[in-house]
């Protein structure tokens, strides 16, 4: 029998949906009430399928279930793989009343959500995220999409799920590196808006990296609550939602430079948050002790603190210029005003930015 | 100097937008007030570009304008061509404040609109439809998308434009066959909801097929007003909007069978409307005189009245089963309750449907 740990509601008017967090949920918790029609298509990957696909099917009693198993990995978050979802839907004659189910990490969630946004101009979908990163980040807020050779997540849609089901048991099979990557986003919530949560994380980090179920459940709940609160205020990222991108502009540049999939997203965000903190320090927004606190918690989570050795300041500048957070040519960055408070600004001094890049890159231009 | 003929508003709450109809508009009428940022990307095709691209550019004074010329034709309404738009946007560092402009017929409008819906999860776009079909149909209502080998428009989004600019002068360069195809949708509006408009069309059809500017302007305005009214009541096609699909289920089957682009969409809809009228007659909803009236006006517009010679009833059945208007396996059709009134039904008798298919197909199963 499952054990329900937490439940919260993402408030988005008629697009509101619940996030259900528990232990032993998969296959035990009945999701069929969230399926409007009779058809379900579960999309997963070849790593997750052997462990969880049959269990996931058991969560939809009474429905006609098809399943599609995609190759695992960020490098498959592309048109070709997305099209396999449309092929499967059409070959199995799924109508516009079908429900798609994303069973896997962020790549599966983003692609399946985008497929749901586009199939016959939009069908419902359900998220069952199985990695820490996807549980605390990509399953909340409705951002979906795929990568383009010239930039990450450049093609996509906002499309909210009907429900998100998080089973903490699925974390027990994750490699430690992926848990660390997920913790980068967890730390981010503390840094941008919740000092009390950051205090708790500094205490609990040892348990978190040791896969302690209870600690992980609490971290997921508080992260989702942070993100749900932000997204509820600003679904389309016209304002406060952009602060969720702390570390992401530097991080995306690192991911693109390294080639998708070589650095995990969370690893790049970990280093990116340290770089953003460094720039915040140079801008005079935070002090040295704040900066050290950021570095310490990122390192304690087992995350890297420097970009790839071959990467130059010029690489950063060129890769950040096409980052989608830029508006009309100005480089927008999320910086810390304090530990627990972030701001979006296009006004960071170019000299300070250059100094940060020089300090973090092994190579000159 | 341009001459403004008509202006109407599509009422969709915060997504409302105007349709501006006139003579000599392109290059003369200033659209820059509808562009939020500084960047514009005009997407057009290799038939339209030589005639209208430079003029279109002149409608955006003060903006940074890029242009992309795609190959012409329905067969290019696919992933590969759509990706060329994303490539061009990223190569030219277009940000999320860019505006896309669709200059061309329905294929350009649907693809450019879908690219706008997906680029960086959604950017604004403007429609400048240059064919009669796109002016009276696809430029109103926000349906965007691409084809899949297993079905037309199977992948897409609802995405409303900022403004639609219709220049009746652009019709003067159209082949007669394309004007006829556009008239199929014009006739449709009369058949489903506006008997007075149908009366007028029966009088004016001779002028319309002779490219009379004033008659065409009037037909466009009344068609757009019909469609804007329907879409305003039901943006996401949960109810009345589905009546706009009169003739389309049969028509899509014809288009798919013939191979995209061999039959024009409007030609297939013309034949499809006659088949729908035939089924309505067999169902006892309309009488023989009504049916004859439908056949007469479709023929007068220069449209075909029978499906391709090689097409069998079995072809129809198999191609209609995956049509996206079906909900949970039931074949939904738009039928006439009277001339000027349509209904969506899943209750048509299978025997009558079979009789209609047998009557229209040259071949048996």
Q: For residue A106, say whether it is annotated as part of any ligand binding site.
A: yes
The yes-or-no verdict on residue B146 having pLDDT over 90 is yes
The yes-or-no verdict on residue A328 having pLDDT over 80 is no
- SS3 at position B17: strand
The pLDDT value given to residue A365 = 60
> Residue B121 catalytic?
yes
Band (A124; pLDDT cuts 50, 70, 90)? very high
The pLDDT value given to residue A219 = 96
Q: Which residues of A touch B153 (CB under 8 A)?
A: 121
Band (A353; pLDDT cuts 50, 70, 90)? very high
Q: For residue A340, say whether it is annotated as part of any ligand binding site.
A: no
DSSP string for residues in B257-287 = HH-BTTB-HHHHHHHHHHHHHHHHHHTTSS-
Name the active-site residue from B55, B57, B94, B143: B143
Which residues is B99 bridged to in the sheet?
B40
Mean pLDDT of B5-20: 91
Tokens 């995990």 -> residue = A264
Q: Which residues contact B237 (CB under 8 A, 6 or more apart)?
A: none
The yes-or-no verdict on residue A271 having pLDDT over 70 is yes
The pLDDT value given to residue B326 = 55
Name the active-site residue from B185, B218, B267, B343: B185
| A96: nearest Cα among B278, B306, B156 | B156
Mean pLDDT of B98-103: 98
Note the pLDDT tens digit of each residue in A162-211: 999 999 999 999 999 999 999 999 999 999 999 999 999 999 999 999 99
Nearest to B90 among A96, A148, A327 (CB): A148
Note the pLDDT tens digit of each residue in B27-46: 999 999 999 999 999 999 99
* A145–B97 C-beta distance less than 8 A: no
Band (B204; pLDDT cuts 50, 70, 90)? very high
DSSP string for residues in A68-100 = EEEPPSGGG-SHHHHHHHHHHHHHTT--TT-EE
Q: Output the six-digit token pair for A275.
A: 């770089």
Long-range contacts, A268-271 (Cβ 8 Å, 24+): A269/A184, A269/A185, A269/A188, A270/A180, A270/A181, A270/A184, A270/A187, A270/A298, A270/A301, A270/A303, A270/A304, A270/A305, A271/A247, A271/A298, A271/A303, A271/A304, A271/A305, A271/A306, A271/A307, A271/A360
> Residue B245 catalytic?
yes
* B87–A326 C-beta distance less than 8 A: no
The pLDDT value given to residue B234 = 84
> Using CA atoms in the order B246, B247, B249, B254, what is the torsion angle rounded to 10 degrees?
-160
Question: Comparing A3-172 with A176-360, is the CATH topology the same?
Answer: no
Pairing of strands B99-104, B39-45: parallel
Which residue, among A95, A323, A331, would best test binding to B if mutated, counting the most B CBs under 10 Å from its CB? A95
Q: For residue A97, say whether it is annotated as part of any ligand binding site.
A: no
> How far is residue B113's CA from residue A205's CA, in Å, rounded to a whole number?
47
Band (A127; pLDDT cuts 50, 70, 90)? very high
The percentage of residues in chain B with a pLDDT greater than 70, rounded to a whole number, is 97
CA distance A192 to chain B (A): 24
The pLDDT value given to residue A122 = 97
> Residue B6 catalytic?
no
| B132: nearest Cα among B178, B64, B83, B191 | B178
Any B CB within 8 A of A79 CB: yes
> How far is residue B334's CA from residue B321's CA, in Å, rounded to a whole number?
15
User: How far is the CA of B309 from the CAs of A43, A237, B178, B313, B321, in angstroms?
Assistant: 41, 53, 22, 11, 21
Q: For residue B248, say whether it is annotated as part of any ligand binding site.
A: yes
Which of A280-294, B202-216, B257-271 has the weakest average pLDDT?
B257-271
The pLDDT value given to residue A260 = 65
Mean pLDDT of B183-201: 96
Name the active-site residue from B55, B94, B193, B265: B265
Any A CB within 8 A of B157 CB: yes
Which residue, among B95, B111, B319, would best test binding to A if mutated, counting the most A CBs under 10 Å from its CB? B95
CA distance A244 to chain B (A): 16
CA distance A179 to chain B (A): 28
**Is B3-172 CATH 3.40.50.1970?**
yes
Q: Which residues of A touch B234 (CB under 8 A)?
A: none
> How far is residue B139's CA from residue B160's CA, in Å, rounded to a whole number?
9
Q: Which residues contact B315 (CB under 8 A, 6 or more apart)?
A: B253, B257, B361
Mean of all residue pLDDT scores within chain A: 93
The pLDDT value given to residue B270 = 97
The pLDDT value given to residue B323 = 53
Question: Is B106 within 8 Å of B131 (Cβ atoms)?
Answer: yes
Name the DSSP letter for residue B254: H
> Residue B237 catalytic?
yes
Long-range contacts, B303-306 (Cβ 8 Å, 24+): B303/B180, B303/B181, B303/B183, B303/B184, B303/B266, B303/B267, B303/B270, B303/B271, B304/B263, B304/B267, B304/B270, B304/B271, B305/B270, B305/B271, B305/B274, B306/B271, B306/B360, B306/B362
Note the pLDDT tens digit of each residue in A293-302: 999 999 999 9
Q: Which residues of B touch A144 (CB under 8 A)?
A: 121
The yes-or-no verdict on residue B155 having pLDDT over 90 is yes
How many beta-carbon pairs under 8 angstroms link A with B?
101
The yes-or-no verdict on residue B260 having pLDDT over 70 is no
> Residue B148 catalytic?
no
> Residue A185 catalytic?
yes
The yes-or-no verdict on residue A236 having pLDDT over 90 is no
Q: For residue A73, say whether it is annotated as part of any ligand binding site.
A: yes
Any A CB within 8 A of B158 CB: yes
Any B CB within 8 A of A312 CB: no
Mean pLDDT of A236-243: 84
Note the pLDDT tens digit of each residue in A33-86: 999 999 999 999 999 999 999 999 999 999 999 999 999 988 899 999 999 999
CA distance A275 to chain B (A): 24
> Residue A347 catalytic?
no
Q: For residue A130, say whether it is annotated as part of any ligand binding site.
A: yes
- SS3 at position B144: strand
> How far is residue A353's CA from residue A359's CA, in Å, rounded to a whole number?
10
DSSP string for residues in B176-227 = HHHHHHHHHHHHHHHHHH-HHHHHHHHHHHHHHHTT-HHHHHHHHHHHHHHH
* B326–A87 C-beta distance less than 8 A: no
* A328–B156 C-beta distance less than 8 A: no
Which of A110-119, A291-300, B329-338 has the weakest average pLDDT?
B329-338
> How far is residue A323's CA from residue A149's CA, in Å, rounded to a whole number?
13
Domain boundaries, chain A: 3-172, 176-360
Mean of all residue pLDDT scores within chain B: 93
Band (A13; pLDDT cuts 50, 70, 90)? confident
Residue of chain A whose Cα is closest to the Cα of B38: A328
Query: Bigger pLDDT: A152 or B107?
Result: B107
The pLDDT value given to residue B231 = 87
> Residue B45 catalytic?
no
Q: Which residues of B touch A235 (CB under 8 A)?
A: none
Band (B239; pLDDT cuts 50, 70, 90)? confident
* B327–A97 C-beta distance less than 8 A: yes
Question: Is B20 within 8 Å of B163 (Cβ atoms)?
Answer: yes
Band (A325; pLDDT cuts 50, 70, 90)? low
Query: What's the CATH fold of domain B176-360?
Result: Dehydroquinate synthase-like, alpha domain (1.20.1090)
């Amino acid at each position: 029998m499952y054990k329900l740990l937490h439940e919260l509601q993402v408030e988005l008017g008629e697009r509101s949906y619940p996030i259900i967090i528990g232990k032993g949920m998969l296959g035990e918790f009945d999701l069929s009430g969230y399926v409007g029609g009779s058809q379900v298509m579960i999309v997963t990957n070849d790593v997750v399928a052997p462990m969880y696909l049959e269990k996931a099917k058991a969560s939809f009693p009474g429905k006609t279930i098809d399943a599609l198993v995609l190759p695992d990995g960020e490098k498959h978050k592309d048109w070709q793989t997305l099209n396999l979802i449309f092929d499967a839907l059409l070959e199995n004659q799924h109508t516009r009343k079908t429900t798609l189910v994303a069973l896997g990490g962020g790549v599966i969630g983003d692609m399946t959500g985008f497929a749901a946004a586009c199939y016959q101009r939009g069908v419902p979908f359900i998220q069952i995220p199985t990695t820490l990163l996807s549980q605390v980040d990509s399953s909340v807020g409705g951002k979906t999409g795929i990568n383009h050779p010239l930039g990450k997540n450049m093609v996509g849609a906002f499309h909210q799920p009907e429900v998100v089901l998080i089973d903490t048991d699925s974390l027990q099979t994750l490699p430690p590196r992926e848990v660390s990557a997920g913790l980068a986003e967890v730390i981010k919530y503390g840094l941008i808006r919740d000092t009390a949560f950051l205090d708790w994380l500094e205490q609990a980090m040892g348990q978190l990296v040791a896969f302690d179920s209870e600690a992980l459940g609490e971290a997921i709940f508080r992260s989702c609550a942070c993100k749900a609160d932000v997204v509820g205020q600003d679904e389309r990222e016209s304002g406060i939602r952009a602060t969720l991108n702390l570390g992401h502009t530097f991080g995306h540049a690192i991911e693109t430079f390294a080639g998708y999939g070589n650095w995990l997203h969370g690893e790049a965000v970990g280093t990116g948050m340290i770089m953003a903190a460094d720039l915040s320090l140079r801008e005079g927004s935070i002090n040295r002790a704040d900066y050290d606190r950021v570095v310490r918690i990122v390192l304690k989570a087992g995350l890297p603190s420097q970009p790839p050795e071959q990467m130059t300041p010029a690489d950063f500048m060129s890769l950040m210029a096409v980052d989608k957070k830029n508006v009309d040519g100005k480089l927008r960055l999320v910086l810390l005003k304090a530990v627990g408070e972030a701001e979006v600004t296009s006004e960071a001094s170019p000299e300070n930015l250059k100094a940060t890049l020089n300090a973090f890159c092994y190579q000159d231009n």
